[in-house]
Amino acid sequence: MLTRIDLRGSQLPGVRELSGLLPRASTDVESVEAVVRPVLEDVRLRGAAAVREITARFDGVDAEDFAVPQAALDEALATVDPTLREALEEAVARVRKVHADQRRTDTTTQVVPGGTVTERWVPVRRVGLYVPGGLAPLLSSVVMNVVPAQIAGVESIAVATPPQRDNGGLPDAGVLAACALLGVTEVYAVGGAQAIAVFGYGAGACEPVDLVTGPGNVYVTAAKRLLRGLIGIDSEAGPTEVAVLADDTADPVHVAADLISQAEHDPLAGAVLVTTSEALADAVLELVPGQVAATKHSDRIDTALAGTQSGIVLVDDLDAGLAVVDAYAAEHLEIQTRDARAVAERVRNAGAVFVGPWSPVSLGDYAAGSNHVLPTGGCARHSSGLSVQTFLRGIHLVEYDEAALADVARHVDVLAHAEDLPAHAAAVAVRQK
């Protein structure tokens, strides 16, 4: 459980070598493409009939119509536990408050008198939001996907989430309640690769979408990869992961609990502690078994913590620690050090950074106001988490009057001929008197 990697006492390797040394879950998306491709093709060709058969085969639910009736959504919201509804409402309010500040405004730049370029931010017309329902029904993911889409101004929102045999073939009741609370009326009881196919090609009552967002298993990820281009996607999400950068001021009880909380998601989940303190590492290792034994999903957590994707990395100082976490580029990064905010502001690569002892990842999963749909597998080096911007496209409006065009015509002529594209030059010259 939580093997050690000791990087102390020698020069830290370069980024490439360091990335290869660090724990990381291995998810071979390509290995399942051969399974996923026929599923996508079947849905493309046969539509709802294929979805029904695939759902019966994979989920054990045989339903003639996979569209969730409005009555089921209404009932889920009406019967949801009041404390759960209150928690959902608080999460929605906080996520909405944070994401409302992300909405970009149109900007017009006057390049020259009579010549302007306006950048308009236009929402995609229709989105498909995927909500996992395998090991855990992630009703919080409804909030994280729907709220930024609504703030962006998306006019048509559909949610797909797996059916549950123990709920009469409907999706999880909490997921349905979250959808109803947010005013989402188009929900489909379909999961896995076939859900992404429904979004991409359309099937049954579901019309094709322009963009698909939301996390999922390797089959969902493979489907998103194979349909990318036909649809836009947010990312290819892999197993979840947390890294904790800590020094000797960190509370080992907190650190152990935070590693365990993320390992609870999935046997492939990654939990990595990067620390300057061997005493902290020893204390965490001593605490973990007892905390794991006290949890509901101890087998799953044990598997995740014992896997090659989890471990403890010992470093000489915080500079080395920052180099390590930047090379790792964690989905979630906790900073539990002296002057945690100052250290956090030096981080370059992370999906989200949780600063200090009172900002655990669990807070961000539910009610910090931030978004929990984040880049995994090192993709935080180049990608951002889900936000309002995910659902917007920048469109330039170029507007020049006659004088402004005449003023720049000679430059267009020179550049067009330099590229051996004389018709480009002619398109401007023909407008000159």
Q: What is the 3-state secondary structure (H, E, C) of 11-71?
A: CCCCHHHHHHHCCCCCCCCHHHHHHHHHHHHHHHHHCHHHHHHHHHHHHCCCCCCCECCHH
**419 labeled binding residue:** yes
Give CA–CA dist 131/357, Å, rounded.
30
**382 labeled binding residue:** no
**365 labeled binding residue:** yes
How many residues in total does the chain contain? Answer: 433
Q: Alpha-carbon dihedral of residues 148, 151, 152, 156, nearest 10 degrees?
A: 90
Which strand ranges, in their side-by-side order, compose the sheet holding 115-123?
107-112, 115-123, 392-400
> Are the CB atoms for 393 and 156 separated by under 8 Å?
no
**339 labeled binding residue:** no
What would you report as the CA-atom Rg of the chain, rounded to the nearest whole angstrom? Answer: 25
Give CA–CA dist 268/262, Å, rounded.
10
Catalytic residue among 99, 254, 297, 332: 332
Catalytic residue among 186, 236, 241, 331: 331
Active site residue 396: no
**424 labeled binding residue:** yes
**247 labeled binding residue:** no
Active site residue 331: yes
**371 labeled binding residue:** no
Helices (H), 233-360: 252-263, 278-293, 298-306, 318-328, 340-344
**70 labeled binding residue:** no
The H or E element containing residue 123 is strand 115-123
Give CA–CA dist 248/158, Å, rounded.
48
Summarize the annotated binding site as residue ranges: 130, 194, 217, 240, 262, 265, 332, 365, 419, 424
Summarize the annotated binding site for substrate as residue ranges: 240, 262, 265, 332, 365, 419, 424
Summarize the annotated binding site for NAD(+) as residue ranges: 130, 194, 217
The residues annotated as belonging to the active site are 331-332
